[in-house]
Amino acid sequence: MSNKTKIESSYISSVLKLNNNVVFNGFSFGYKKNISGEVVFNTGMVGYPETLTDPSYSGQILVLTYPLIGNYGVPQFDTADFLKSKFESDKIHVQGLIVSEISDTFSHWSGKKLLSGWLEENRIPGMFGVDTRKLTSMLREHGTMLGKIIVDDESIDLYDPDRDDLISKVCPGKIEKLGSGKKKILLLDCGCKLGIIRKLIREDTTVIRQPWNKEISSFDFDAVVLSNGPGNPAVYNDLRKKVEVLLKLRKPVLGICLGHQILSLTVGAKTYKLKYGHRSQNQPVRLNGTNRCFITSQNHGFAVDDTSLSGEWRTWFTNLNDNTNEGIIHNSLPFRSVQFHPEAAPGPTDTSFIFDDFLNEIK
């Protein structure tokens, strides 16, 4: 009996059922429960601790296409200084995890626990033994689908996260002040990755981490960052109204991922759902008007319609795989946003200069 067969024989069976009634069989690991969500895939080879703790994955069942997951374990979360931890939040946000093969051991100097144990601690179900190549090909051909991970025979309804107010579920509960520099940055948190905060904190900056659904902080601030977050940007009308007020202050603004989409909607542009999204660490983008290209980390299922930009707004970056919009910038005011993640985490840091340029604009 092979080691793989021995591993499988010690786990109970589970199934993934898609909303087109296609069923994938596998084995359950992590927490044992039935869940539903949008089934999406990520093609990154490494970085599962960062990926699973990214709040933008809230409501989604994540398929990792790399064939073996978990072999370097999970590091310890530093509760004393969470910004030093190799995570993007303090918990796992995916609805469920699907992999081809799960490692039942790990070997890395920072590894402290098994991936399966970490999922169980966070009450997140996982599946392995799934033909992830076939599943990913189906999602690429037909688009992302709703699905269910079923561990027992109990029936559950399909859950569509695009209709839900996910950002209110993942944003922090209170205002937090980080750093002690003279440049004060208001971070409108819609489910912000810790990597963004790490990039913003410098010797000369103070970051005011503001939950998006609280009244704007009474602290003075010199610039605004609109964070990433989960869900369909078109349903967040209250957030757009808040951004509209902030734009009237004419202070430097940087939007990232969902923040990019919200800024675009606020200034009159339109968004639309991509067939299967961009979720990987190797997305090429071009700086418009130049031949400069960068490799970026991305995680989004919606995009901004380039043709809907008007006035002094123009396209800043373009995706070289499918020519979709990857950023907008204002011709005369200090407003700009990007669809990708310049902080990476995980992924390449080709575009980290965006943070430097933004911070240099703050007077």
| 341 belongs to the catalytic site | yes
Cβ-in-10-Å burial (0-12, 13-18, 19+) of 170 comes to buried
Each residue's pLDDT expressed in tens, for the chain with a length of 363 residues: 455 555 566 799 999 999 999 999 999 999 999 999 999 999 999 999 999 999 999 999 999 999 999 999 999 988 777 787 889 999 999 999 999 999 999 999 999 999 999 999 999 999 999 999 999 999 999 999 999 999 988 889 999 999 999 999 999 999 999 999 999 999 999 999 999 999 999 999 999 999 999 988 677 999 999 999 999 999 999 999 999 999 999 999 999 999 999 999 999 999 999 999 999 999 999 999 999 999 999 999 999 999 999 999 999 999 999 999 999 999 999 999 999 999 999 999 999 999 999 999 998
* Lookup result for tokens 């734009």: 247
**pLDDT at residue number 258:** 99
> Which of 38, 101, 326, 343 is labelled catalytic?
343
Give me the catalytic one of 50, 88, 257, 260: 257
Which residues are within 8 A (CB) of 280 and not within 5 positions of it... i.e. 6 or more apart? 42, 43, 44, 297, 298
Burial of 108 (0-12, 13-18, 19+ CB in 10 A): exposed
CB burial of 249-267 (b: ≥16 within 10 Å; e: otherwise) equals eebbbbbbbbbbbbbbbbb
Q: Is 257 a catalytic residue?
A: yes
Q: What is the pLDDT of residue 10?
A: 77
CA atoms within 13 A on the CB side of 146: 12
Domains of the chain: 3-163 (3.50.30.20), 167-361 (3.40.50.880)
- pTM of structure: 0.95
- Specify the pLDDT at position 9: 63
CA distance 174 to 211: 6
